[in-house]
Amino acid sequence: MKRRTFLLAGLGTGGALFLGWALLPPRQRLVGGTRPDTGGTAVALNGWLTIAPDDTITVVVPKAEMGQGTHTALAMLLAEELECDWARVRVEYSPIDKIYGNVSALVEGLPFAPEADGTLVRGIRWMMAKTARELGVMMTGGSSSVRDCWMPMREAGASARASLIAAAAATWGVTASTCRAEQGTVISADGRRLRFGELAALAVSHRPSEITLKAAAAFTVVGTPRPRLDSAAKSNGTATYGIDVSLPNMLYAAVVMSPFGATTPPSVTAAQMTQSRAMPGVRAVLSLPGSRYGDPPALAVVAESWWQAHKAARALATATAAGASAAGASAVSTVTVLQDIRRTLRNDDGLPLRFFGGAKKVLAAASRTVDATYEAPYLAHATMEPMNATVRVSNDGAELWTGTQVPGYARAAVAHVLGLDEDNVTVHQHILGGGFGRRLDVDYIAQAAAIAKTVPNVPVQLIWSREDDMQHDFYRPATVSRLRAALDADGRVTAFVAHSAGQAPFKAYSKRVGFLLTQSGPDRTSSEGTWDQPYAFPALHTSHSETDSAIPVGSWRSVGHSHQAFFVESFIDELAAAAKQDPAAYRAALLQSHPRALRVLQLAAAKSGWGAPLEPTADGRPRARGMALHAAFGSIVAEVAEVSVARDGRIRVHRVVAAIDCGLAVNPNIIAQQIESGIIDGLSVALNGELVIEDGAPRQSNFYEYRLLRIDECPVIETHIVPSLDVPSGVGEPGLPPIAPAVANALFTLTGTRLRALPLRMPSEAAS
């Protein structure tokens, strides 16, 4: 595989190469306008790596590490092409620069069906890719990190390798084609060797006019189960999350935030404010108006320790609860919101998203139909590390220390709140104790900047309590969907109609951060997983009705797939039951024109022992299997769950077998870890997940109320990867959507009861 890349760069300070975006060819992502930090002695051969004299290779990574193994996977891509010693590889976050913008997520966010092609579609995708490069939005989300960096990381490694070989060849007075790179050294035909660290400074002046990428058959790093680079630090406690930041003279802040819809801070008396200011360690009590980024009006306490700030804030919260509520506070509840969504579903046809074959007419004329309505509740992100940010405001700028999925937007938020140019704000990115889409938002960062503005030249660390975090989230929206299908005499689908209703999460997010491209038009994330499902129907009509509510919503792990998979895959099982056919065979018949999905289905069925009898549990309860298949973020996952129901109605999941086609498997261990993570997260949702809102506030505030899956409830999980040489696709999210319908389908097989609402709860009579 060969591709010409012209490096029109010059020599920068400290040996870095850089130049402005405007001068670059449209596909160039090698060199940016902001050079990586070389630490004084290392040399940057392009924008994606530095080489130190001791041969340390520092891979410069623009994606947030939040447990998904991205830093290791991306380093493997670069190391593969560089031919370095893996033991010398380390990772650091990139600066903010357009070359690190996420192109893949924006291109794949276009509302095209996966199989869509043709001149117009290709042209629009090309234009969006060009626009994405010009915008340079740095973002970690949409399971896009490896896809987005697949070429840039490899090209960066190959380019650096070519420069190092050229430098060695010039030193020896031989032609570069007679030399090779291996394990961090360049070797001549006669056996002479020079280390990368010795060559790096010379290599800067040897810019390749052409680079050659390795064929997959030659890979020695990619495709291997390398241990994660961050495992040791996370195991021994040396990894630094945003909440771990500690700076000299640092002060701490805690907040009391107004409920949904409020336009003023919580109402307290002057005497109560004075009383809080007099508490031990308290330096200031502030009133914050909120901002466009979604942080509500609030009271903030600044103190010498976080516990002192927290105690004073709780005292204010107690006073607020006993007094008048903030102006404009909503009395919204999930009961009324769901009533509104159901009403909309009945009375509105929705915006058509994908349709062909006159599906509604076929359905109306059919003599045999299946009709079912499904519901999914609001969900909190519930990250293990609550929202936090540290900001220091100085006379000429500001610094931010935090974990974020969008460092550019984080910088913009601080600049906006403080009235600064973005170039005068420095972002120190840290690893994230969970993101799941929550840290795509920057409300907590804007809030920290507003607090720090009142205490100049002193770092202020804002930490939300667990209760703050859970009760002031941007939630996964509640959604209701009606699915209908027409069947012929043999049970085959002749028309498939799906209409869902709920809030639009990505449109709401775009308005908060000011991303104009997606503030209007249809929000494809609301119903992704239905309009772009892989089954071949002769007639299809999918639509979505957007609803509104005072409840704030945003992106949640797998976004629309998290509920649409439950709707579609439960309904496919209902169709199989109506046709009196085996669920696996029924799906296979619908996937004959989608061989990739069919292979995944067949692998999951084979590895799970589909169709073979299951032994009862140790206490004599019967078990059954259920399956689901779902395509998301370029990958296809099928899952088979083995389930039983205890006498008290408790649902028990004993074993889950997953199969995934995610293109070329960069690191099989990381893929398995992420599928396991998605299944466990998905089981938390399937069995427990529900955020209840009453009188404008969430009823749950901590993990004892918002229950996650416990260790003793986790099933045995097996992950099987379909061999592939295709470009890698997402793995961080695709494992989550299929598990809820797989469990629901198993419960139907086991009990004959069809559960159409999440979380899954067995009626007592069905359990017994």
| pLDDT-above-90 percentage for the chain | 86
Where are the domains positioned within the chain? 2-224, 242-328+387-463, 348-378+476-767
Q: Which of 252, 232, 233, 256 is nearest to 243 (CA)?
A: 252
Instruction: Indicate if the pLDDT at residue 517 is higher than 70.
Output: no
**Cα dihedral value 218, 220, 221, 222, nearest 10:** 40
Model pLDDT, residue 27 = 43
- Of 259, 262, 251, 328, the closest CA to residue 285 belongs to 251
80 compared with 320, residue with greater pLDDT: 80
| 212 Cα distance to chain centroid | 32
Whether 555 contacts 437, CB under 8 Å: yes
Whole-angstrom distance, CA of residue 609 vs CA of residue 398:
59
The residue among 444, 436, 445, 443 whose CA lies nearest residue 380 is: 436
Which range (23-37, 308-322, 327-341) has the least confidence?
23-37
Judged against a pLDDT cut of 70, whether residue 2 lies above it is answered with: no
How far apart CA 238 and CA 248 sit, in angstroms, is 19
Whether pTM exceeds 0.75: yes
Number of CB atoms found within 10 A of residue 567's CB: 28
Find the mean pLDDT for residues 173-187.
98
| Segment among 17-26, 451-460, 532-541 with least mean pLDDT | 17-26
Instruction: Evaluate if residue 243 carries a pLDDT over 60.
Output: yes
Does the pLDDT value for residue 736 go beyond 80? yes
CATH code of the domain made up of 348-378+476-767 = 3.30.365.10
pLDDT higher than 70, residue 19:
no
pLDDT in tens, 611-625: 999 999 999 999 999
pLDDT digits (tens, 9 = 90+) for 636-685: 999 999 999 999 999 999 999 999 999 999 999 999 999 999 999 999 99
* Equal fold, 2-224 vs 242-328+387-463: yes
The per-residue pLDDT for 325 is 65
pLDDT score of 467: 97
**pLDDT for 114:** 72
pLDDT at residue 767 tops 70: no
Quick check: helix, strand or coil at residue 153? helix
> Half-sphere exposure of residue 1, counting CA atoms within 13 Å on the CB side?
12
Parallel, antiparallel or unpaired: strands 298-303 and 251-257: antiparallel
Q: Are strands 211-212 and 2-3 parallel, antiparallel or unpaired?
A: antiparallel
pLDDT tier, 26 (very low <50, low <70, confident <90, very high otherwise): very low
For 392-414, what is each residue's pLDDT tens digit?
999 999 999 999 999 999 999 99
Over range 718-739, report the average pLDDT.
98
Measured in whole angstroms, how far is the alpha carbon of residue 390 from the centre of its chain?
23
For the domain 242-328+387-463, what is the CATH code?
3.30.365.10
Confidence of residue 329 (pLDDT cuts 50, 70, 90): confident
> Is the C-alpha dihedral spanning 38, 42, 43, 49 positive or negative?
negative
* pLDDT at residue 518 in the model: 66
Confidence class for position 324, pLDDT limits 50, 70, 90: low
Cβ atoms of 441 and 348 closer than 8 Å: no
How long, in residues, is the chain? Answer: 768
A 10 A CB-CB count for 10 gives: 12
Does 76 have pLDDT greater than 70?
yes
Best CA proximity match to 260, nearest among 236, 216, 290, 229:
290
Token pair, residue 136, equals: 């340079």
For tokens 């130190």, the residue is 52
Tell how far CA 226 is from the center of its chain: 22
The pLDDT of residue 582 = 99
Taking residue 761's Cβ as centre, other Cβ atoms within 10 Å add up to: 15
Helix %, strand %, coil % of the chain (to 5):
35, 20, 45
Residue 687 sits at the vertex; the CA angle it makes with 683 and 692, to the nearest 5 degrees, is 115
Contact by Cβ (8 Å): 60, 48: yes
Instruction: Check residue 112 and give its pLDDT.
Output: 82
| pLDDT band at residue 13 using 50, 70 and 90 as cut-offs | very low
| Residue 647 token pair | 């006498």
Lowest mean pLDDT among 101-110, 481-490, 733-742: 101-110
Q: How high is the pLDDT of residue 8?
A: 23
Say which amino acid occupies 487: L
27-62: per-residue pLDDT in tens? 468 877 676 777 778 999 999 999 999 999 999 999
Q: Is 680 in contact with 619 (CB distance < 8 Å)? A: no
| Chain position carrying tokens 């990619």 | 222
Q: Please, are residues 533 and 567 in contact by the beta-carbon 8 Å criterion?
A: no
What is the model's pLDDT at position 85?
A: 98
pLDDT at 1: 29
The verdict on domain 2-224 having CATH code 3.90.230.10 is no
CA distance 401 to 422: 15
Give 485's Cβ-side CA count (13 Å radius).
22
> In the structure encoding, which two tokens stand for residue 17, read together?
């190469």
Element (H, E) at 601: helix 595-608
Q: How many CB atoms lie within 10 A of CB 464?
A: 22
Q: Which amino acid is at 327?
A: A
Which residues touch 235 (CB under 8 Å, ≥6 apart)?
none
Note the pLDDT tens digit of each residue in 258-288: 999 999 999 999 999 999 999 999 999 999 9
